Amino acid sequence: MQINRTQLFRASCLSLLVTSLSFGIRAGILNKLGTDFQLDKAQLASITATAFWGFPLAVVFGGIIVDMIGMKKLLVLAFVFHLAGILLTVFAQGYWTLFLSTLLIGLANGTVEAACNPLVTALYPENKTTKLNHFHLWFPGGIVIGTLIVLLLNKINIGWQVQVGVMLIPTIIYGFLFSKLDFPVTERVSSGVSTGGMYRALLNPLFIFMFICMFGTAITELFTGQWIDVLLKNVTDNAILILTLDTGVMVIGRGFAKPVLKLIPPEVLLLISTILAALGIYMLSTVTGPAIYAAAIIFGMGVCYFWPTMLGFVNTNLPKTGALGLNLMGGAGMFAVSLYTIIMGSHYDEIVKQANGDSSFAGQKILLATLVIPLVLIVAFGGLVLYMRSKNKSKPLQQVAV
């Protein structure tokens, strides 16, 4: 069996591109779906949240079985889910078809992460966090591409069905590539760590701490990004450009992950990121005019390294948690975003109702409520920095792979 890690990595990036296109395009067409199918904000939130809770179902279940069935079979399943979800969205007739199609896409997205995160760490054991950042570069990258597709096709009056259908192209390509390539076993299997050893590692207090923190980092990044068109529609006529701008910053940042991680330890990077994210959300909720674009840049800098650095930190410092540890982290993040999206969608409608139908300040109020999360994370990651410094002082000097 010949493992072509470059081809596998490229195919992995392409599968994540489909995941991110689904976020970017859905963010761009959300208001249009509400108008066409006469859906209120609570219903839109419920549909959006479906992708976020379909993701953790798939990523956790995939994390449990990936060592047994292998990563290739999981990615074939992801292809089937993506294909079905995209087609069902294109031919949607109302709330329930949108709900089911979004669920299928969420399951596909979670299955991609369940297979590709351990695949990347197995392919590049010498620099896990860096390559996870390079892999996850394609998440904001796809959102940029997706939002630009929406803006361009809207400009020439091409409907949202065609915009969604664009995702079929990379889906078919990644399905074909993965079907032709050989895969390695997961890192836990290759290193001989037992299943019992993996489950014991999941009870480590450091893993539990990072698992809980993943709730906050995921909500800060993904809820704000996915709902930006709704939250800022009364602040700017081009709210979707805010998403394009902050995700563009994330693409650049993740592309430079290697030199950044050589200068800054992952735990310090998470602390700096949280401070910038908090400042960015505060500015997004308070400023107007051109300053809103500066806020988007700061927010993008803040959330840039959250997801891949959280995964890389866990897999580097707690390697025995294996693929399941990686996927539990991803599942925790998406599940938290799902619940938060449903709660905030209802809260948005309640704010508008109390204001007698005036939604002028509803988005800013939702953002200010969300600001509490990164503020709490600043304290949490400050504690993590102190803990890791004390832990590293008690160990002999060694080279840490990032």
Task: Take residue 159 and report the two structure tokens written for it.
Answer: 């409907």
| pLDDT at position 400 | 46
Q: Which of 196, 156, 236 is nearest to 67 (CA)?
A: 196
CATH class of the structural domain 5-393: mainly alpha
- Model confidence over 126-164: pLDDT tens digits? 888 899 999 999 988 887 888 788 888 888 888 889 989
The model carries a pTM of 0.82
Domain residue limits, the chain: 5-393
Question: Residue 245, Cβ neighbours under 10 Å: how many?
Answer: 21
Mean pLDDT of the chain: 87
The answer to whether residues 301 and 276 touch, using CB atoms and an 8 Å cutoff, is yes
pLDDT band at 268 (very low <50, low <70, confident <90, very high): very high
Task: Take residue 102 and report the two structure tokens written for it.
Answer: 């979004």
User: What one-character DSSP code corresponds to residue 318?
Assistant: -
Mean pLDDT of the 25-45 span = 81
Q: Which of 334, 381, 307, 268 is nearest to 117 (CA)?
A: 307
- Model confidence over 298-342: pLDDT tens digits? 999 999 999 999 999 999 999 999 889 999 998 899 889 888 988
Query: Could you tell me how far CA 59 lies from the centroid of its own chain?
Result: 12
- For the chain, the distance separating the N- and C-terminal CA atoms, rounded to the nearest angstrom, is 28
Dihedral in degrees, nearest 10, Cα atoms 56, 60, 62, 67: 160
